[in-house]
């Protein structure tokens, strides 16, 4: 192996090693703005095939570090042997690495297609590939690059127009500009005449980052929303910290319910809404009359409706049973005010894709109570908050259950349907003491910003907490502790550009990429200029 190729591999590995540090638990978000620079430096004047493999190497290493928690979920709770768990992890991350490989190939291709200026459009390919990852094979948009900035409130406000994909676009553009500047500067140190300064790319990156920062500062001042009617509600969330190993143990059922009772009581009677986590009840709520009465008594004591997760049992037309992963809104009078059924299920966790035909030999990778069916969609629930001035108008909210919150368009539909704030309930106990709970929580921040709606999050083992409409974390709990948190949240309907129009920016990037591909396919190549022999006189 020659030195140039060895250096390329080393740089590609460096980018891969840096990527996990951009996300929780490490949380070095600033690193994201330079993490891809080494990879981009390797993509100068190399064949497309090598560019793909270098990008694939970066992506595989990066996603292996980001998603190492997959092994914990499979070995600890799915009882999958450790060697098989690592093999599945590597298979998954090798697949995810393909997206970075395709991006790297596109960078080299754009340089050949439109010399000097084509590289400006490379971030469109990154965004298009992130959008593809969101939907292809059920979708796995875990830790898109833009999520690394969840603590940089000013810079992520552009998500209210462009979604998380807009933040990813900006990060990739800056990485690309820095790499091009470094490549331009290298001849200075080698004693060569430098190539032409890539001022177009550098200027574009500086301009867009500056505009994004100023826009974020303006939005977080709330000046654009001063005329929007709003109300304030008090929401409490309960984190019971029930060990996953005993969650469905009949012998531990009473202890589980006693823990919910105690924590709900700690919130007091001043709540407008109390939120319990996903699958809070270790039984099918509709089939347990005694526990229904007990829950109603607790809601009456809290003087507030309780939102709680519980499986719902239903039957096909041939009387075969099936389950829904549901969230029930229970009133203090003991009535079910509404129910939301999880729409986007976790493949291999809540169901086996193609189980009846192709994958009949597989079982779920995590233990549970059976396979689930998908619910109908983004149902909005409502309740009447407390008011000293008589009956208050009902407040509408949407509930995203667990994995659903990582899908931007799915959450957006709640806002489109009239939600004034959002709730997510989850059981992250499957992840153990890994980086996944913090990564999962970070993604909720971007959902708040995209729709400018407050979020309440209740997680069985953590992280529970509250996020304001601009992505600021108001409160959060520690992992594997019991907690009862409360906060005052804004309820309103700002209907952002993203809420109204969805991922038009990302699909615009797809359109640009498609047009570039058509241009590359059909462009007329210039004929080679012939050479004329000169005969000496």
Active site residues: 278, 342, 402
Residues 129-153, buried b or exposed e (16+ Cβ, 10 A)?
A: bbbbbbeeeebbbbbbbbbbbbbbb
**Residue in the block written with tokens 């058509």:** 518
d(CA 236, CA 486): 4
What are the distances in angstroms from CA 31 to CA 36, 195, 350, 439, 487?
Answer: 9, 28, 35, 16, 32
CB-CB contact of 431 with 73 (8 Å) = yes
Q: Is the C-alpha dihedral spanning 179, 180, 182, 183 positive or negative?
A: positive
What are the distances in angstroms from CA 259 to CA 253, 266, 276, 301?
Answer: 10, 11, 11, 15
Query: Which residue, 219, 162, 212, 126, is CA-closest to 412?
Result: 162
d(CA 100, CA 104): 6
Q: Is the C-alpha dihedral spanning 354, 358, 360, 362 positive or negative?
A: negative
d(CA 154, CA 215): 8
Q: What tokens does 89 get?
A: 């992890």
Backbone angles phi, psi at 187, to 5 degrees: -60, -25
Give start and end residues of each alpha helix (H) in 114-158: 122-135, 153-156
What are the distances in angstroms from CA 228 to CA 75, 223, 450, 492?
Answer: 49, 10, 17, 7
d(CA 335, CA 300): 11
CB-CB contact of 24 with 439 (8 Å) = yes
E strand segments, 144-229? none
d(CA 357, CA 396): 41
Query: Which residue, 244, 243, 309, 340, is CA-closest to 457?
Result: 309
Residue 232: which H helix or E strand, with range?
strand 230-239
Q: Strand 336-341 and strand 321-330: pairing? A: antiparallel
């Amino acid at each position: 192996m020659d030195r140039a190729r060895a250096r390329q591999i080393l740089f590609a590995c460096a980018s891969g090693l840096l990527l996990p540090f951009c996300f929780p638990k490490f949380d070095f978000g600033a690193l994201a703005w330079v993490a891809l620079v080494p990879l981009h430096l390797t993509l100068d004047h190399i064949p497309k095939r090598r560019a793909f493999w270098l990008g694939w190497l970066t992506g595989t290493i990066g996603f292996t570090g980001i998603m190492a928690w997959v092994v914990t979920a499979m070995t600890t709770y799915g009882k999958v042997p450790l060697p098989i768990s690592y093999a599945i992890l590597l298979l998954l991350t090798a697949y995810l690495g393909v997206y970075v490989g395709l991006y790297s190939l596109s960078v080299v291709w754009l340089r050949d297609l439109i010399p000097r200026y084509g590289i400006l459009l490379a971030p469109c390919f990154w965004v298009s590939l992130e959008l593809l990852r969101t939907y292809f094979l059920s979708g796995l948009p875990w830790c898109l690059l833009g999520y690394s900035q969840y603590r940089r409130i000013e810079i992520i406000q552009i998500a209210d127009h462009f979604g998380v994909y807009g933040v990813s676009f900006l990060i990739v553009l800056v990485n690309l500009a820095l790499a091009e500047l470094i490549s331009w500067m290298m001849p200075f140190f080698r004693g060569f005449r430098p190539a032409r300064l890539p001022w177009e790319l550098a200027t574009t990156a500086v301009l867009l980052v500056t505009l994004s920062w100023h826009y974020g500062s303006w939005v977080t001042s709330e000046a654009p929303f001063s005329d929007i009617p709003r109300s304030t509600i008090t929401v409490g969330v309960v984190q019971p910290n029930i060990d996953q190993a005993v969650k469905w143990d009949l012998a531990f059922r009473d202890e589980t319910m006693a823990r919910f009772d105690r924590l709900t009581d700690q919130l007091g009677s001043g709540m407008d809404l109390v939120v319990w986590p996903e699958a809070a009840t270790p039984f099918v709520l509709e089939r347990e009359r005694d526990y229904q009465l007990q829950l109603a008594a607790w809601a009456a004591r809290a003087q507030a409706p309780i939102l709680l997760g519980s499986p719902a049992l239903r039957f096909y037309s041939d009387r075969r049973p099936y389950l829904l992963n549901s969230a029930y809104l229970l009133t203090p009078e003991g009535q079910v005010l509404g129910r939301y059924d999880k729409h986007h299920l976790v493949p291999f966790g809540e169901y086996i894709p193609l189980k009846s035909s192709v994958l009949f030999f597989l079982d779920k990778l995590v233990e549970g109570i059976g396979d689930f069916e998908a619910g109908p969609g983004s149902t909005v629930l409502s309740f009447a908050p407390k008011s000293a001035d008589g009956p208050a108008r009902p407040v509408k909210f949407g509930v995203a259950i667990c994995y659903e919150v990582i899908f931007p368009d799915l959450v957006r539909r709640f806002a489109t349907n009239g939600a004034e704030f959002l709730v997510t309930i989850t059981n992250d106990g499957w992840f153990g003491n890994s980086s996944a709970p913090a990564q999962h929580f970070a993604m909720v921040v971007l959902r708040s910003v995209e729709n400018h709606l407050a979020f309440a999050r209740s997680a069985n083992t953590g992280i529970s907490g509250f996020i304001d409409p601009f992505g600021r974390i108001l409160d959060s709990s520690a992992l594997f502790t019991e907690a009862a948190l409360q906060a005052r949240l804004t309820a309103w309907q700002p209907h952002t550009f993203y809420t109204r129009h969805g991922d038009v920016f990302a699909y615009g990037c797809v359109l640009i990429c498609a047009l570039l591909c058509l241009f590359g396919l059909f462009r007329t190549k210039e004929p080679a200029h012939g050479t004329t022999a000169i005969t000496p006189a």
